[in-house]
């Protein structure tokens, strides 16, 4: 067993200990819900919007079914922000399940992204303001794929200024919006696997990527850094999170189909073993 596998096993054991303790605590406190949901967050809404929707549905549904005006406060949170313009798997913890969200925050994830070479925006995606442009025509497919492959492994990554990364209690996005000075520090991230995603009709300067990485990795920054290696600039066009720890996009609940019964039926303590 490798060190990484041992650490993963220890994390799984700790996760189940937390969940077991939480279940007992929730029972004694008469909390109505407890567990983790796998929800597909669409573009155009925030991760917090998704959590608030779940909370609203559960609160109103519980009140209607049990004819109670006062119910225990339902805690809802998520295990890793997806930006408004991104979509895909969002781990949503309810009740005691929120205590286990740290495992999802730190856990590995997989993305499918598209990007374009030749310019860079302030947000590092196409929704931002273009800051710089650079030639890309000198880049061959072979050179691009070599640069992509070179990103496998551990490296120091500078997060996007427009992000949920915290600095002195505020997100970097808050500093950026208010045009306040802020020190953006690099962080060590792990890219487990990155490959060019071949999409019909998608040719340079446009491209696709599939990335499996550690928690805290920003694909927008990854695309920027690949472009820098190639002597140009790069911007992300789209992002879909397909895997978050043990949660897979194929099993995600669509936000548009959420109702009380669907949430309760799918609100489970995950079996990570």
Residue 99 has what DSSP assignment? G
Whole-angstrom Cα distance, residue 154 to residue 64?
51
pLDDT band at 6 (very low <50, low <70, confident <90, very high): very low
Reported as a single tens digit per residue, the pLDDT across 28-69 is 355 689 999 999 999 999 999 999 999 999 999 988 887 776
Reported as a single tens digit per residue, the pLDDT across 127-146 is 999 999 999 999 999 999 99
Q: Which domains can be identified in the chain, with CATH numbers?
A: 3-107+246-266 (no CATH), 109-244 (3.30.2350.10)
Helix, strand, or coil here: 96? helix
- Mean pLDDT (whole number) for 171-181: 92
**Which of 4, 247, 214, 239 shows the shortest CA–CA distance to 112?**
239
**Which of 152, 132, 140, 121 shows the shortest CA–CA distance to 237?**
121
Stated pTM of the model: 0.85
Give the phi and the psi of residue 8 in degrees, each rounded to 5.
-65, -40
Helix, strand, or coil here: 223? helix
Reported as a single tens digit per residue, the pLDDT across 102-131 is 899 889 999 999 999 999 999 999 999 999
- Mean pLDDT (whole number) for 161-190: 92
141 is catalytic: no
* pLDDT at 269 (0 to 100): 73
**Which of 48, 112, 106 shows the shortest CA–CA distance to 76?**
48
> Would you say 84 and 45 are in contact if contact means Cβ atoms under 8 Å apart?
yes
**Which of 33, 28, 84 shows the shortest CA–CA distance to 57?**
33
Whole-angstrom Cα distance, residue 22 to residue 19?
5
- Mean pLDDT (whole number) for 17-38: 61
Whole-angstrom Cα distance, residue 137 to residue 270?
48
Which among 49, 83, 108, 261 is annotated as catalytic? Answer: 83
Give the phi and the psi of residue 129 in degrees, each rounded to 5.
-90, 130
The verdict on whether omega for the bond into residue 205 sits within 30 degrees of 0, i.e. cis, is yes
């Amino acid at each position: 067993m490798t060190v990484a596998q041992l650490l993963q096993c220890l994390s799984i054991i700790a996760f189940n200990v937390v969940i077991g303790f939480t279940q007992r605590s929730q029972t004694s406190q008469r909390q109505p819900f407890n567990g983790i949901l796998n929800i597909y967050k669409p573009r155009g809404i925030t991760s917090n919007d998704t959590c608030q929707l779940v909370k609203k549905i559960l609160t109103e549904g519980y009140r209607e079914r049990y004819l109670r005006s006062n119910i225990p406060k339902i805690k809802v949170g998520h295990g890793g922000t997806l930006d408004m313009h991104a979509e895909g798997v969002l781990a949503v913890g309810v009740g005691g399940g929120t205590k286990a969200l740290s495992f999802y925050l730190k856990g590995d994830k997989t993305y499918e992204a598209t990007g374009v070479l030749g310019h860079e925006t302030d947000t590092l995606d196409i929704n931002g303001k273009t800051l710089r442009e650079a030639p890309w025509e000198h880049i061959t497919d072979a050179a691009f794929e070599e640069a992509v492959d070179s990103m496998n492994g551990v490296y120091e990554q500078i997060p996007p200024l427009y992000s949920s990364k915290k600095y002195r209690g505020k997100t970097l996005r808050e500093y950026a919006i208010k045009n306040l000075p802020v020190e953006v520090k690099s962080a060590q991230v792990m890219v487990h696997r990155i490959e060019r995603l071949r999409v019909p009709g998608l040719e340079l300067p446009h491209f696709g990527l599939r990335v499996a990485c550690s928690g805290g990795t920003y694909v927008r920054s990854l695309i920027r850094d690949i472009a820098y290696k190639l002597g140009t600039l790069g911007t992300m066009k789209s992002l879909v999170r397909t895997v978050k720890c043990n949660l897979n996009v194929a099993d995600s609940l669509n936000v548009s189909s959420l109702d009380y019964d669907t949430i309760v039926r799918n609100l489970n303590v995950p079996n990570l073993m």
